Structure 1
Amino acid sequence: MNALTLAGVATAALCLGFAAIYALSRRLNNYGVVDIAWSYAFAALATFYALAGSGWEIRRALIAAMAALWSLRLGTHLLVRVARHHPTEDTRYLQLRHDWAGNFHAKMFGFFQLQAVSVVALGVAFLVSVQNPTPHLHPLEIAGALIWLLALSGEALADAQLAAFKRDDRHRGQVCDVGLWRYSRHPNYFFEWLIWVGYFVFALASPWGVLAIIGPAGILFLLLRVTGIPMAEEQSLRSKGDAYRRYQQTTSAFVPWFRRDRP
């Protein structure tokens, strides 16, 4: 199949899949399930592309493995978090219940379908890579894989450090500022974005690879302006108040960097 056909089949399948996830979420009365599905969907997408693509087999296997390892780690991390708090729903979806109260179910179904489309749009890096027939890896692909490995390790470390901090009852109500969190208020988001930079650099070695810029650009916009940092900061200010305001004054919001003195 050519690239457009692959993308079309993937979009149709994911829209059906997310419709089923919507039905499950409605039955559970917890729409946070969509975050888990969105994360796992990339593993399915990249595997499908790798199996149906026409490019060099080793490249297809490598990009699929990179996507699947990231996808399964993130999806499982979110699965554990959602299951631990169920039936309490993530504050983002509680807010959407309020904002969309007049036509909630129809709008939420559309939101789930948008998630399906976003997976295909962000996954352009996988699509162009699996169609590349060149029988050897380009230096850009090696560089992209190394960036991905660094970012995946950093994201996993940040998640582990935050989880360990929260498990200690002595830290109840306190701001996590240890490890990577001492240098960034959202190191997990930074490394999540860097993973997509890795996919983009990998894709640049393939024809039309520049289109993969939609991945890091889209993720960066979401993290900085939509559902990432703005909502996380708002929640932290509500729950931790002045302690978090002091943290904001000394610690970089996104890129890990040296701490600064409070004004």
Structure 2
Amino acid sequence: MMDWGLFLWGGLVTTPMMGGLWCAYHWYHRNAGLADVGFCIGFGLVSLGLGLLAGGEVTHRIVIACLGAGYGFRLGLYIFYARILNATEDPRYQLIRDKIGPKAEWWMFMYFMGQALAIAVFSVPLLVLMANPESTWNWWELAGVCVWFIGVGGETISDYQLMRFRRHAYNQGKTCREGLWRYSRHPNYFFEGVHWCSYVIMSVGLPNAWLTLVGPILMIGALLKVSGIPFAEAQALVSRGDDYREYQRTTNAFIPWFPKEVKR
């Protein structure tokens, strides 16, 4: 049975961390990408904590905790390296501050605090899986673990390919079409969605399995309609112009597929 007290615990323990990161952003680093790092690292830490505190069978708790932590720490370290240490602030946040104006700092504070709530919400699929009292693993769970590796592995490959492309000065102003980026304009987002779907597959047959849908619905919805593709595409059109328009005409935005041939 799920312990909803652990849901509240996840949000409470990460609130001070996000507050500290906001202070680092506000007074020192001026890079709102720290909020994304905080979400990922916080999710990883909460995953490990839930593995210790949840009441389900121990093997399930350990495996699910490791999956959640592996996803969170991997992505958090990548964002920290690629967008904090070795890059300027994500243009999405610069655009938001320009639009909001004088109230931008208050909005940023609320955004950082909202990440603590987001960690709690996205931990719900893990709570469902960790409540499993059975010691044996069924085929749905094993299939879900395989999908998890596809999702996290595909996102890792996508991130590495893009980082390698951007590392070379002669690619400045150009669009990455290497590897997975040949088949999707946002393969990292696609595999992020695959990762969240893995928990849904693992939950088949469990009580409260429907609650695992919160992960893919919220994450894929945000990536497609809110903070992911819309902002990324708008910025790409500004920085890469006609080259990116050509990329849009030939390449799927989300689901990988073979590029289209454009008649001239």
> 1:72 maps to what in 2?
73
Partner of 1:55: 56
Question: Helix, strand or coil: the match of 2:51?
Answer: helix
Which whole-Å CA distance do the structure 2 matches of 1:92 and 1:173 have between them? 17
Q: Which residue of 2 aligns with 1:114?
A: 114
Distance 2:100 2:86 in 1: 23
Kept in 2, the 8 Å contact 1:59–1:129? The answer is yes
1:241, distance to aligned residue in structure 2 (A): 0.4
The within-5 A match list for 1:1-263 is 3-28=3-28, 29-85=30-86, 88-263=88-263
Q: Is the 8 A contact 1:141 1:205 kept in 2?
A: no
Task: List 4+ stretches of structure 1 deviating above 6 A.
Answer: none
Query: In the superposition, relative to structure 1, how do residues 42 and 204 fare at CA in structure 2: closer, same or farther (>3 Å)?
Result: farther
State the alpha-carbon separation in 1 of the partners of residues 60 and 119 from structure 2: 21
Amino acid of the structure 2 residue aligned with 1:149: F
Q: Which amino acid aligns with 2:256?
A: P
**Alignment partners' CA distance in 2, 1:98 and 1:225:** 20
Other structure's SS at 1:100 match: helix
Given that residues 3 and 128 in structure 1 are in contact (C-alpha distance below 8 angstroms), is that contact kept between their aligned partners in structure 2? no
What's the TM-score, normalizing by structure 1? Answer: 0.94
Within 1, Cα distance between the matches of 2:168 and 2:192?
Answer: 25
**How far apart are residue 21 of structure 1 and its match?**
1.6
Question: 1:203 offset after TM fit, Å?
Answer: 2.7
Residues 31, 84 of structure 2: 8 Å contact kept: no
Residue by residue over 1:52-74, the C-alpha shift from the partner in whole angstroms, topping out at 9 and shown as x without a partner, is 01111110011111111111110
Q: Which amino acid is the alignment partner of residue 137 of structure 1? A: W
Aligned counterparts of 1:254 and 1:190: Cα–Cα separation in 2 = 6
* Root mean square deviation of aligned Cα: 1.6
User: 1:85: how far off?
Assistant: 4.2
CA distance in 2, matches of 1:135, 1:143: 17
Contact 1:183 1:256 in 2 (8 A): yes
Cα drift, residue 15 of structure 1:
2.0
d(CA) in 2 for partners of 1:202, 1:148: 10
Deviation, 1:20, is 1.8
Alignment-mate amino acid for residue 16 of structure 2: L
2:92 and 2:235 in contact (8 A); partners too = no
Q: Secondary structure at the match of 2:257?
A: coil
- The amino acid across from 2:56 in the alignment is G
Q: How many percent of aligned residue pairs carry the same amino acid?
A: 34
The one-letter amino acid of 2:243's match is: A
Q: Deviation of residue 2 (structure 1)?
A: 5.5
Where in structure 1 are there 5+ consecutive unaligned residues?
none
**Any idea what the Cα deviations from partners look like across 1:129-179, whole Å, max 9, x if unmatched?**
112111111221111100000111111111111122222333232111121
* SS in structure 2 at match of 1:174: coil
- The C-alpha deviation readout for 1:180-208, integer Å capped at 9, x for no partner, is 11110111110011000012212334311
Alignment partner of 2:173: what SS?
Answer: coil
Counterpart residue identity of residue 224, structure 2: L
Change (3 A) 1:185 1:2: closer
> Where does the alignment leave 5 or more consecutive residues of structure 2 unmatched?
none
Q: Indicate if the aligned counterparts of 1:126 and 1:203 stay in contact, CA closer than 8 A.
A: no
How many residues matched? 262
In structure 1, distance between residues paired with 2:23 and 2:85: 21
Tell me the TM-score normalised to structure 2 length: 0.94
Amino acid at match of 2:212: A
> How many angstroms apart in 2 are the aligned matches of 1:171 and 1:18?
35
